[in-house]
């Protein structure tokens, strides 16, 4: 999956102790939820979105500790 703002692939961050997450444009949240549901990947979307200096709103999708990062990446890579 490509970030429509940066034109780069959306990456799965594994920094921190809460578990992996992705940050993506809010406009792609519904599509991403469908993809994750289809692949049986557990997640939750943060309630709030962030927009800095007039940039498009960004959302965070969390996967929690123990999530299968390879499966998440494979699912995201399966669509443009």
Q: What is the pTM of this model?
A: 0.88
Q: Report how far apart the first and last C-alpha atoms of the chain are (Å, whole number).
A: 5
CA distances from 76 to 17, 35, 51, 53, 55 (A): 22, 8, 23, 28, 23
For residue range 68-79, what is the model confidence (pLDDT) as tens digits?
999 999 999 998
Between these two residues, 68 and 5, which has the higher pLDDT value? Answer: 68
Highest mean pLDDT among 1-5, 7-11, 67-71: 67-71
């Amino acid at each position: 999956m490509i970030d429509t703002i940066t034109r780069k692939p959306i990456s799965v961050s594994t920094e921190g102790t809460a578990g992996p997450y992705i940050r993506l444009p809010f406009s792609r949240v519904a599509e991403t939820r469908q993809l994750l549901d289809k692949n049986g990947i557990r997640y939750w979307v943060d309630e709030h979105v962030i927009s800095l200096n007039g940039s498009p709103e960004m959302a965070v999708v969390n996967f929690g500790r123990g999530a299968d990062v390879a499966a998440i990446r494979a699912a995201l890579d399966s669509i443009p």
